[in-house]
Every structure is written in structure tokens, then in C-alpha cells.
Amino acid sequence: MAGPGSAVVADDALDAGLAAFLAHLDIERQASPHTLAAYRRDLGALRDWLSARGLGQWSGLDAAALRAFVADEHARGLAPASVQRRLSACRALLRWLQKHGVLAVDPSAGLRGPRSPRRLPQVLDADEMGQLVEVPVDGPLGLRDRAMLELFYSSGLRVSELCALRRVDLDLAGGEVRVLGKGRKTRIVPVGRHAREALAAYLAQQPAAAAAPLFPGRDGGPITPRAVQKRVRELAARQGVWKRVHPHLLRHSFASHVLESSGDLRGVQELLGHASIATTQIYTHLDFQHLARVYDGAHPRAKRRR
């Protein structure tokens, strides 16, 4: 029977394998700090589960044990989407362990997590978006708020992407902005006329070096995502938009409106910076909902009896 010392050595082996994989994500894959924290949290749960059951080596993890882990996570009340995210992190680790000879086979192959109901993102319609972005430009703060909202809606940026922008990333003459997206991948996104005008007015009042943050915070560094989220929520309430407004809602609205007008799913994928078109396809469901409402309201045989 293994003694306490061997259990410590085994747990050290789990920690060493996990640390090596996270270093791979950080150095080779250049994952963001947010992504690294999520992987560390999800894979830490698997590591703790294995340790509690005396499975102190990654090589001892088989398909039955992984299924039991997923079932336990679901049984203790973790939401299906969270279980799926946790399982996705496990798959990435196990594929890496197999590639490096720690595992003979990938125990996650063919394993599916619990299904979660597909929730379509809420969006603002064109009138609500117009109401939101047309904030008063009374003073430097108003100019900044208007420029920020117009750029969100014009270019479909993530809040982290907007916060990371520097002045040099913005080309007002060319109507473009260079964005550093997920996986530290760069993409060029168009900037519409209204956003260009709002940004030009804002920048005229805020002279700074090209390398300076486009939207600085109080300390002079980039504004934080939390500060942007809070400000967007305040502006929505002030403008009388009573939906739960947050930066990602503006991104959803951008994608839905562009797809509704163009029908170009691949183009929307490129604009949003999605690695897979499957992620973008959720907006086709939103587009269909819009068409269904038009149909229900217009077709004489579609109307229900009262």
C-alpha cells in the first residue's frame, strides 16, 4: 500500500503536468491572462478531483474516470454551459498530454457533456442603438462617451479590444482600426462615418502621443473593462434605453444588424474575429427571428385568431 509520501509525489506529478501545459498556453499559444485564469480554474478542478480519489498521475486518467468527473460536476449543480467549458479545457490538456507521450490515448475522445439550452443573445434594434449612441457631447467626457459608443457599434469590438486600443491603431483618414483580438490575433476593422466624426471631435480635445491609450483611465493607462461596463450601463439609463445594456450587447447588435442587411455570414465572421464560423452562426438565428416576426405581422394566413 502506498504511504503518505507517495501520495505527495503523485500530487506533485499532477501539478507539474498542469504547470507545463499552462506554460505552453502562455508562451507558445500566447493566451491572454483571462484565458489562462479560466484554464487554471477548470483544470484545477480536475486535478483536485483526481487527487481526492488517489489518482495522482495523469497517465492514470481513463475515459471512465473522466466521465465520472463530468457527471460529478453536473450533479453538484454546475450549469451545463460551465460543464461544457470545463470539459473543453480538459480536452485541450489531454490532447497535449497525449502529444507529449504522457497518455497513450485521449480519454476525452467521443465524450460529450450535458446539453445546455441555446440562448440567443439579446440585441438592440436600430432605433434603440441610435437613442443610445447619441449622448450629449457637452464637454470632454461627453465627447469620449460618444466616441466610445459609436466605435463599439461601428466596429463590433469586444470590450477588451476597445480598452487595449492605442491612438496609433486608429486610421481616421482610411476609416480603419487595427484590433488585437483573442489569441493575440490582429485584424483590421472598418470604422463608419458617424464613429469617425465622433472620434475626430474627441481626439481634437485630447492631444496625446501616438502610443498613448485611445481611451485612457484616471491613472493615464488604458481604461479598464469594468469602468467601460459601468459607464455604458449608466449611459443607457440616462438615454432611456431600459434593456440590460453592456458592451457585448453592442457587439451583438452590430453583428445582427450587419448580417440582417448583408446576409454575408463569412464577412460578419471576419469582422468579429471569430476563429470558427460556428460561433457566428448564432446570428443567423437572430436574423430568422426578425424575418419570422415580419412574416407573422404581414402574412394574412400567419396571423393567429384572437
- pLDDT, tens digit, for every residue of 188-245? 888 999 999 999 999 998 888 889 999 999 888 999 999 999 999 999 999 998 888 9
Q: What is the pLDDT of residue 8?
A: 40
Last residue of a domain, one of 99, 116, 139: 99
Long-range contacts: 132-139, Cβ < 8 Å, 24+? 132/235, 132/236, 132/239, 132/241, 132/245, 133/194, 134/239, 135/235, 135/238, 135/239, 137/198, 137/201
Residues 6+ apart with CB under 8 A from 209: 167
Q: Domain of 86: which CATH number?
A: 1.10.150
Q: What is the pLDDT of residue 291?
A: 45
Out of 144, 158, 167, 196, pick the active-site residue.
158
Alpha-carbon distance 24 to 20, whole Å?
6
Q: What is the pLDDT of residue 302?
A: 52
**Cβ proximity of 74 and 114 under 8 Å:** yes
Tell me, yes or no, whether 171 and 40 share the same domain: no
In the chain, DSSP assigns E strands to 170-171, 176-180, 186-190
Active site residue 39: no
Out of 24, 40, 85, 182, pick the active-site residue.
182
Tell me, yes or no, whether 165 and 230 share the same domain: yes
Tell me, yes or no, whether 91 and 143 share the same domain: no
Low-confidence ranges of the chain (pLDDT < 50): 1-10, 288, 290-292, 294-295, 301, 305-306
Percent of the chain with pLDDT over 90: 31
Active site residue 283: yes
250 grid coordinates: 453592442
Q: What is the pLDDT of residue 267?
A: 75
Tell me, yes or no, whether 95 and 130 share the same domain: no
Tell me, yes or no, whether 176 and 286 share the same domain: yes
Q: Domain of 209: which CATH number?
A: 1.10.443.10
| Assigned domain for 9 exists | yes
| Assigned domain for 138 exists | yes
Q: Supply the pTM of this predicted model.
A: 0.58
In 98-248, DSSP assigns E strands to 170-171, 176-180, 186-190
Out of 144, 251, 252, 257, pick the active-site residue.
251
| Assigned domain for 304 exists | no
Out of 40, 85, 95, 274, pick the active-site residue.
274
Please give the torsion angle defined by the CA atoms of residues 208, 214, 215 and 221, in that order, rounded to the nearest 10 degrees.
Answer: -70
Q: What is the pLDDT of residue 4?
A: 40
Out of 39, 153, 202, 283, pick the active-site residue.
283
Tell me, yes or no, whether 139 and 288 share the same domain: yes
The b-or-e profile of 236-268 (16+ CB within 10 A means b, else e) is beebebeeebbbbbbbbbbbbbbbeeeeebeeb
Tell me, yes or no, whether 232 and 276 share the same domain: yes
Tell me, yes or no, whether 181 and 71 share the same domain: no
| Assigned domain for 111 exists | no
Active site residue 251: yes
| Assigned domain for 146 exists | yes
Active site residue 85: no
Number of domains in the chain: 2
Tell me, yes or no, whether 152 and 273 share the same domain: yes
Tell me, yes or no, whether 56 and 195 share the same domain: no
Q: Whole domain around residue 20: which residue ranges?
A: 4-99
Active site residue 74: no
Active site residue 40: no
